[in-house]
Amino acid sequence: MTDATLTGLSSAEEPFARIAIIGLGLLGGSIGLAIAAHMPGAVTTGYDLDPATRARAAVRGLAGTICDTAAEAAANADLVILCVPPSVMGDAAAAIAGSVPAGAVISDVGSCKLAVAQALAEALPGHAARGSIIPAHPVAGTENSGADAGFASLFHNRWCIITPPENALLAQVSRLAGLWQALGARVEFMDAAHHDRVLAVTSHLPHLIAYTIVGTASDLEEVTRSEVIKYSAGGFRDFTRIAASDPTMWRDVFLSNKDAVLEMLQRFTEDLTALQRAIRVGDGPALFDHFTRTRAVRRSIIAEGQDDARPDFGRSDHGAEG
């Protein structure tokens, strides 16, 4: 299914009107703000396990009503979106099991879909049997986290991948797609296993590599931490942004998508070994060929509108590197 065909389908469906957001960090908060901005007919309820987050969420208006329990937030919803780290998706689903209406659609925003789908199905077997657990993953975010990190335009022109189970009703899938389109996203469909392999390479492996290199640089004895920071404009600083992402979420991502991440890592290591050998033996042509090929990928990403075309990401002061 493409974006275009889905738009046709979703227009015939009634939009969700009572949306519960469980977890009010970067993703949950941005969803609440985006619904307020783009779906005037919808009401939202929100809940977060952390009382301080709930208090900030109330101040920022991340949801219309901030509830004291997840069960209360979900009690009258026609859609529940779970916006918590992968390892506690099952707990969050269990917390709403006693109150969420049987007819409600259950969705989420997790970066891994196979593990999350299984956890949700175990906690909400009735909804699973009816095909109304429809996982989703908006490929959007920043390195910030928490109740102050979200903003309404986070999903603009970003892709949201929906991974419906085989027994899902097309009408419900269309409603969910319609919601994400209303928030500014482009929608794509995949089976969960394929999603997990695609994201392993476009998101999980890059984060693992960034976390690794920042750790490596911090641990050197003969190059001081101060030098690493001063000369970070040579390229290193780009990696530090990604390596500043939420530790809890990323721990869970790697543990929840272990097989795909380890496989992609194996391929990366093989490629790195080949380049290492080219450097060791002084094979300039092999290096040049590789570096020329990778340049084209950047051009495609810019042509697709998935990054800023300005040099150095358009950093405010024209940045630095070299």
Residue 2 binds to a copy of itself (criterion: CB under 8 A): no
3-state secondary structure of 17: coil
Which region, judged by CB under 8 A, interacts with a copy of itself, from 53-61, 115-123, 165-173, 234-242? Answer: 234-242
Residue 37 binds to a copy of itself (criterion: CB under 8 A): no
Nearer of residues 20 and 253 to a copy of itself, judged by Cβ: 253
Record the tokens describing residue 118, joined without a space: 């299984």
CA 85, 46, 31, 168 dihedral sign is positive
Q: What is the smallest separation between the CB atom of 134 and a copy of itself, expressed in angstroms?
A: 18
Q: What is the smallest separation between the CB atom of 163 and a copy of itself, expressed in angstroms?
A: 13
Record the tokens describing residue 131, joined without a space: 């095909």
Which residue of 103, 125, 126, 235 would you call a contact of a copy of itself, by CB under 8 A?
A: 235
Which region, judged by CB under 8 A, interacts with a copy of itself, from 9-17, 136-144, 165-173, 175-183? Answer: 136-144
Burial group, residue 221, by CB count within 10 angstroms (0-12, 13-18, 19+): exposed
Q: What is the smallest separation between the CB atom of 28 and a copy of itself, expressed in angstroms?
A: 12
Residue 205 binds to a copy of itself (criterion: CB under 8 A): yes
Are 172 and 105 within 8 A, CB to CB? yes
Record the tokens describing residue 251, joined without a space: 């721990």
Residue list 142-201, contact with a copy of itself (CB under 8 A): 142-144, 149, 151, 153-159, 161, 188, 194, 197-199, 201
Residue 122 binds to a copy of itself (criterion: CB under 8 A): no
Which residue of 29, 32, 141, 164 would you call a contact of a copy of itself, by CB under 8 A?
A: 141
3-state secondary structure of 195: helix
Which residue of 31, 33, 139, 168 would you call a contact of a copy of itself, by CB under 8 A?
A: 139
Strand pairing class (79-82; 105-108): parallel
b or e along 13-23 (b: 16 or more beta carbons within 10 Å of the residue's beta carbon)? Answer: bebbebbbbbb
Residue 65 binds to a copy of itself (criterion: CB under 8 A): no
Q: Please name the residue that has the structure tokens 């590599």.
A: 209
Are 215 and 247 within 8 A, CB to CB? no
Nearer of residues 67 and 199 to a copy of itself, judged by Cβ: 199
Strand order across the beta sheet in which 186-189 lies:
136-138, 159-162, 186-189
Q: How many CA atoms lie within 13 A of 95 on its CB side?
A: 22
Residue 311 binds to a copy of itself (criterion: CB under 8 A): yes
DSSP line for 270-306? HHHHHHHHHHHHT-HHHHHHHHHHHHHHHHHHHHTTS
CA 198, CA 261: separation in Å to the nearest integer? 10
Q: What is the smallest separation between the CB atom of 67 and a copy of itself, expressed in angstroms?
A: 25
Residue list 206-225, contact with a copy of itself (CB under 8 A): 206-220, 222-223, 225
Size of the residue set binding a copy of itself (CB under 8 A)? 122
Residue list 66-105, contact with a copy of itself (CB under 8 A): 87
Residue list 251-310, contact with a copy of itself (CB under 8 A): 251-252, 254-255, 258, 261-262, 264-265, 267-269, 271-272, 275-276, 279-280, 282, 284, 287-288, 290-295, 297-301, 304, 306-308, 310
Nearer of residues 124 and 152 to a copy of itself, judged by Cβ: 152
Q: Please name the residue that has the structure tokens 């809890």.
A: 248
